[in-house]
Structure formats: structure tokens, C-alpha cells
Chains A and B, each alone.
Chain A
Amino acid sequence: MKPHDIDLMQEADGERPRAGESDPADRDKLAALDELHELVRGHLEADADAVPAARFAEMWNAIDRSIGAAPAKDSAEHAAQGPGLWRRLSRWLDRYRGYLITGTVSAGAVAALALLLRGGSETDSKPIETMPAAYHPTEIESLDTPGGTPTVFHVKDEDGASTVIWVSPDDTVEGI
């Protein structure tokens, strides 16, 4: 890297006095650093703005419970709609993914079946019981998965328990 550009970067970051304003090429590079700063900062802030308020309302309820209080009344409805099961499921999958199967196609299959287990879509207005498996293990009488082989897990971890149905498509080779 060019030592002069490192100096310029330090000037742009306020780590040393700006001296590169007189040279047009330096001025352009300083402007580019300012530009990149605005792009990155604006982009990250927009990412945060894109998260639905309900996710943060649910987060507050979890925090509130954790610090020893009952959920706040005005956001209690969000608690029932939140992605608690999703988060637990994805956390569990992250932990055990390597032991089960490799390949991204199966994640979609799990997601589809997990939707069935939840008993509704995210747009349902009816509150969802987010952790039924934690208290009443799911009983599965039959499972029809054409074109795939199902595997059912009852998983217990520090967060409680979940039932995971994993479908491996028959025409998929593990690891490919």
C-alpha cells in the first residue's frame, strides 16, 4: 500500500491534520473516503431500519422477562407472534448441522415442515403458541414426504425442546 495513501486515510479519519486538500488527486481520494463512509454508515443504518418493530418488541419482552419482570402489556401481542421457534430452530441447526447432512436444499425442506408445525404463517393475526414442543412433545402419527426421506428429532437443549423434521430429497447426494 502506498504510504502516502495511508497518510491520507489518517487525515480523513481525523488521526492527523488534513494536508491533502491542495493536490487534486489527493482531494479526490479524500472525497472518496468520505463517500465510502457515508455509503457504509447509511447502508448499515438502513439495514437496522428494515427490521420490523415487532422483532424489537419481542426482544424487549425477552429482556424484561430475563431481568425479572412480566412482559409489558403494550407489546405482549408481539411476543406471541415473534420468531422464537425460528431462532431456537436455526440455533439448533447451526449447532448440529454438520452431523446431519450437508447441502443447502434440506434447509428449505426443514423450513417448510417447520411452518406446518407452527400451525400458521407469519401473517396470521392469530397468536401462535411459539414453543408447544417444549411442554407437550409433538406426536406424529404419520408423515407423507413424497420424494424424500424424513427424519424426526426431538431435541432438548438449554432453551427447552423442539421437534425437527428433516427431509432429505431422494435424488440428492449428501455433500453435493
Chain B
Amino acid sequence: MNKEGPRASTGRDASAPIDDHDLVRAARGGDREAFRTLFERYHRRAYSLAYGVLRNQDDALDVVQDAFIKAHEHLDKFEGASSFYTWLYRIVMNLAIDLLRKHRRVSPVELDVLDAGSDDALLPRLLGGNPGRALLDKEIRARIDAALAELSENHRTVLVLRELEGLSYEEMARAMNCSKGTIMSRLFHARRNMQKRLVDLLERPAAAPANEIDDDEVA
């Protein structure tokens, strides 16, 4: 999934992937094809992040579009200390979080404290160790989708940042402007809630998932 091949700018050797930093330099100089190559490389990944947080396709597409426009506008501020994508995902995250705040219709009650007195515990494995195969099952996909949608925005955001982008607790705390303890709490509750909502998948035999979709339906 997300096998976006690097796109070379017009006039360049298409077989040689061009370094992101070189593309940024070229784009700064007005090379639109260079910026397009960056777009081709990262738009789906950025979309995954935005959609994971927002759970709305139009909103996620808008955020990705705005993020690339903003990135282009501020290319001169990209110092190259991190990768282009790290810089981009921060823009995507900020825009997504801003949109959540702007459109927030419900203020969910959340447990954002590490409550050591609670006996809330993680569950053991659900799917017999074959999540890749489980994802071919439409029903399981629908269940994951529903479970993600039912998480509070903060819990979902932290889960997406961790599971999709692999951010550390410290990085997430900075991105979400909260303490590391809050991040740990949100992540724990997010995972625990996901497990609770998927727990009956335990009863499904992992080797032969029902409703398996055809191979040609899997991109």
C-alpha cells in the first residue's frame, strides 16, 4: 500500500530518484515540476494522516491541498533539519487539528489522566497474529472504521500519529501541545477502546476470514 514511486521532473532522468532536499531547492527556485514530484511522493501518505484524524474524505482532501499550498508558500522556511515529509505532516496535523476545533460539534468527555486505580487492562491478541489477512475482510475493515470513528478526536489523533507516523510520545506531546503523560493516557485509552470494540473478532478464525474481497479489489 502507498507505493507511490518517486516522480522525476520533466527533463530529468526518470530512473534516478531525486532527493527531497534537492526537490525543495528546485521548487524554491520556481521549479513547479519539482514541487509536483514532492506532491506525487507524499500526497497519499498525507491524506492517510488527515483522513485518519478527520474521518471525512472532503475535509481530508481539503487539508492536504491546503497543506501543500502552505508548504510551497513557506518553502523558504524549510531548513532541511528534518525530512520534507516530517515538515509536511506537521502542517497537515496543524491544519487537521484546527479544522477539528473549528467544526467540533461534540465535546467528548475523556479520561486524560493515568488512573492507576482503575483495572482497565490491555487485551491479549485478537486475530491470531495475522492482521494483514484480517484487513482483506470487509467486515473487519468496517469494524475498524467504526471503532476509529467512535474514538474521541484526541484519542483518535494520538492513535493515528503513533500507528501511522510512528511518532514518539514526546513528538506527539509537542504536536498536540500537551504533556507526555496526557499522550500516554490518550494512547492507552484509544488502544483499549479499539480492543474493546474489536474484541469479538477473537471468535473469528483468522485463517479463513469471511467476506474476503477479491484480489483484484485490493490495490
Contact = CB atoms under 8 A, between A and B. Distances in A.
Contacts of B57: 51
B14 interface: no
Contact of B159 (A3, A15, A38, A40): A40
A63 B131 contact: no
Contact of B51 (A5, A35, A48, A87): A48
A42 B1 contact: yes
A40 B164 contact: yes
Nearest to A87: B58
Give the contact-size bracket for chain B. 35 or more
Contacts of A8: 122
Contacts, number: 167
Given A1-B114, A46-B1, A29 B61 contact: no
24 contacts: A1-B116, A2-B120, A2-B121, A3-B116, A5-B121, A6-B188, A31-B125, A35-B127, A38-B132, A39-B127, A39-B131, A39-B144, A40-B194, A42-B131, A43-B135, A44-B160, A44-B164, A45-B1, A49-B1, A56-B47, A64-B36, A67-B32, A67-B35, A69-B32
A13 B122 contact: no
Interface in A1-48: 1-3, 5-6, 8-10, 13-15, 25, 28-29, 31-33, 35-48
A64 B103 CA distance: 27
Interface in B29-75: 32, 35-36, 39, 43-45, 47-49, 51-52, 57-58, 61-62, 64-65, 68-69, 72-73
B191 A9 contact: yes
B44 A33 contact: no
A82 to B, nearest CB: 10
A37 B165 CA distance: 11
Given A5-B121, A49-B219, A51-B47, A35 B131 contact: yes
Contacts of B185: 1
Contacts of A69: 32
A35 B122 CA distance: 12
With a 10 A CB-CB cut-off, give which of B44, B69, B124, B126 has the most chain A CB atoms.
B124
- Chain A interface secondary structure, helix, strand, loop or mixed? helix
Contacts of A44: 48-49, 51-52, 160, 163-164
Given A67-B72, A87-B62, A38 B35 contact: no
B18 interface: no
Nearest to A60: B39
